[in-house]
């Protein structure tokens, strides 16, 4: 379609008379402008310009003069390159400003994600190195760190129980009961190291908590009792199995080549026990499962695993399982424990399922609480429960497997 220059026709407010012999019928119309012959349609107007004689054709029901905004819009559609109106330029500027704003928001969001990922990597490496040193030290050092993590995790758990999302459907336990339970949970790993078992202590603690709930003012509720007992089990009893695994299985790992060259000042060959090797392999396989599941989900994730955690996919879960088994088998060859390949594969599968269901359990609690993270203690990672949720059930499964199903502890 040919283009035409803009004619300021909007000043005329009266329609043309029926006889259109010329444009002089409208007294406010400007004189004709000499332009090359061209033809264009603007809305309902048909312009034909030939030299100095402009001719305007009208549709059957439309008048010549239009309101200013409609004429500007029609001219903009017909000839955007020659449009010199200030309002149109302002509109274009607004559109460009919105595009720039969207681009700036996208850049800022990507930069924030990059900073978050960098922070997660830095703090993750620092935590991993520190935990490795603590596991190698064992004894009171390992048990004290576990007790501190249990105390913080128990506080986070009871804060989740008291959040709006959960309290909308239940009555939370009193705050003093929550604090006492957090202290009891922190003492459980220490009692496990001192006594070697925790069953009597857990039973006594549960009885005391039930008494405190029944003697409180007002009417005690079953939701208070159930959430408190689950807190004792989830935050206190289950983590104690890591102490039993690391410090309780003191049988020497005789076939481990690293132990033969281990410095005497750091404990010598006696430092490398079945408990130490099993704990290192379990921790490493859990980290591998999380890493491979994340990478596999990002690259191939299409099918959601469960509604509890929408970001988890079947593809990522399968990648995590393969990575967990591969890491367990490789480390079993390095440490020469367990000796059987079938036992190594079974140990890797057990660690993987313990980590997955521990993660899903904590996700279920957070979903009901209506929060994204259990806390903000670790920058880029959230709270303690967000980092140790994969380890809570795994310690009990690993200890039971080594203690019960591996003949001679797998040596």
63 Cβ contact list (under 8 Å, min separation 6): 15, 16
| 51/332 Cα distance (integer angstroms) | 94
Phi and psi at residue 225, in whole multiples of 5°?
A: -65, -45
Q: Give the pLDDT score at 268.
A: 80
Residue 51 and residue 169 in one domain: no
Which residue segment(s) compose the domain that 209 sits in?
137-410
DSSP symbol at 410: G
* pLDDT of 45 higher than 50: no
Residue 399 and residue 258 in one domain: yes
Give the mean pLDDT of 75-94: 52
Q: Give the pLDDT score at 80.
A: 46
* pLDDT of 400 higher than 90: yes
Mean pLDDT score of the chain, rounded to an integer?
Answer: 78
Tens of pLDDT, residues 274-310: 999 999 999 999 999 999 999 999 889 889 998 888 8
Residue 74 and residue 159 in one domain: no
* Residue of 160 and 91 predicted with greater confidence: 160
Residue 44 token pair: 């309902």
Residue 159 and residue 46 in one domain: no
| 87/69 Cα distance (integer angstroms) | 9
Tens of pLDDT, residues 337-377: 998 999 999 999 999 999 999 999 999 998 888 888 887 77
Give the total number of structural domains in the chain.
2
* pLDDT of 35 higher than 60: no
- Determine what percent of the chain is predicted with pLDDT higher than 90: 38
Residue of 326, 361, 362 whose CA lies nearest to 347: 326
Whether residue 131 is contained in a domain is answered as: no
| 85/5 Cα distance (integer angstroms) | 12
168 Cβ contact list (under 8 Å, min separation 6): none
- Determine what percent of the chain is predicted with pLDDT higher than 70: 71
Residue 302 and residue 391 in one domain: yes
* Last residue in a domain, options 84, 100, 118: 84
* pLDDT of 238 higher than 80: yes
List helix spans (H) across 138-244: 139-161, 164-167, 175-195, 199-214, 222-231, 240-243
Whether residue 393 is contained in a domain is answered as: yes
Residue 267 and residue 382 in one domain: yes
Question: Using omega within 30 degrees of 0 as the cis cutoff, is the peptide bond preceding 338 cis?
Answer: yes
Residue 143 and residue 231 in one domain: yes
Whether residue 119 is contained in a domain is answered as: no
Q: Is 348 exposed, middle or buried (0-12, 13-18, 19+ CB in 10 A)?
A: buried
Give the mean pLDDT of 182-188: 93
Q: Give the pLDDT score at 95.
A: 60
At residue 219 the predicted structure's pLDDT band, cuts being 50, 70 and 90, is confident
Whether residue 100 is contained in a domain is answered as: no
Whether residue 128 is contained in a domain is answered as: no
Q: Give the pLDDT score at 322.
A: 96
Residue 62 and residue 154 in one domain: no
Give the mean pLDDT of 367-395: 84
Residue 80 and residue 141 in one domain: no
* Residue of 170 and 11 predicted with greater confidence: 170
Whether residue 124 is contained in a domain is answered as: no
Whether residue 122 is contained in a domain is answered as: no
Whether residue 357 is contained in a domain is answered as: yes
Residue 64 and residue 141 in one domain: no
Measure the N-to-C terminal CA separation of the chain; round to a whole number of Å.
88
Residue 193 and residue 290 in one domain: yes
Give the mean pLDDT of 186-194: 92
215 Cβ contact list (under 8 Å, min separation 6): none
Residue 154 and residue 277 in one domain: yes
Looking at the DSSP bridge assignments, the partners of residue 49 are 38, 54
């Amino acid at each position: 379609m040919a283009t035409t220059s803009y004619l300021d026709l909007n000043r005329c407010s009266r329609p043309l008379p029926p006889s259109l012999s010329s444009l002089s019928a409208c007294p406010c119309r400007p004189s004709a402008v000499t332009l090359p012959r061209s033809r264009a349609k603007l809305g309902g107007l048909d312009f034909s310009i030939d030299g100095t004689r402009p001719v305007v054709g009208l549709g059957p029901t439309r008048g010549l003069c239009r309101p200013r905004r409609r004429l500007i819009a029609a001219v903009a559609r017909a000839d955007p390159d020659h449009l010199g109106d200030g309002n149109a330029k302002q509109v274009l500027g607004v559109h460009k400003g919105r595009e720039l704003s969207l681009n700036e928001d996208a850049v800022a969001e990507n930069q924030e994600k990059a900073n978050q990922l960098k922070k997660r990597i830095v703090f993750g490496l620092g935590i991993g190195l520190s935990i490795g040193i603590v596991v190698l030290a064992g004894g009171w050092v390992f048990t004290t760190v576990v007790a501190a993590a249990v105390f913080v995790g128990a506080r986070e758990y009871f804060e989740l129980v008291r959040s709006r999302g959960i309290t909308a459907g239940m009555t939370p336990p009193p705050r003093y009961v929550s604090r006492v339970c957090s202290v009891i949970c922190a003492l459980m790993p220490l009692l496990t190291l001192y006594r070697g078992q925790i069953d009597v202590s857990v039973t006594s603690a549960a009885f005391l908590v039930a008494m405190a709930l029944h003697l409180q003012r007002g009417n005690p509720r079953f939701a208070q009792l159930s959430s408190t007992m689950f807190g004792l089990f989830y935050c206190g009893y289950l983590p104690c199995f890591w102490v039993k695994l690391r410090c309780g299985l003191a049988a020497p790992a005789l076939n481990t080549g690293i132990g033969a060259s281990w410095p005497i000042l750091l404990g010598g060959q006696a430092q490398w026990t079945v408990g130490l090797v099993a704990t290192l392999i379990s921790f490493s396989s859990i980290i591998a499962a999380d890493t491979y599941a994340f990478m596999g989900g990002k690259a191939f994730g299409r099918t959601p695993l469960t509604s509890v955690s929408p970001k988890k996919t079947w593809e990522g879960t399968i990648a995590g399982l393969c990575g967990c088994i591969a890491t367990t088998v490789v480390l079993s060859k390095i440490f020469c424990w367990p000796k059987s390949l079938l036992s190594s594969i079974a140990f890797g599968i057990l660690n993987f399922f313990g980590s997955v269901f521990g993660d899903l359990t904590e996700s279920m609690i957070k979903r009901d609480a209506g929060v994204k993270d259990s806390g903000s203690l670790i920058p880029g990672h959230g709270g303690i429960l967000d980092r140790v949720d994969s380890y809570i059930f795994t310690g009990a499964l690993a200890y039971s497997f080594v203690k019960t199903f591996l003949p001679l502890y797998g040596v």
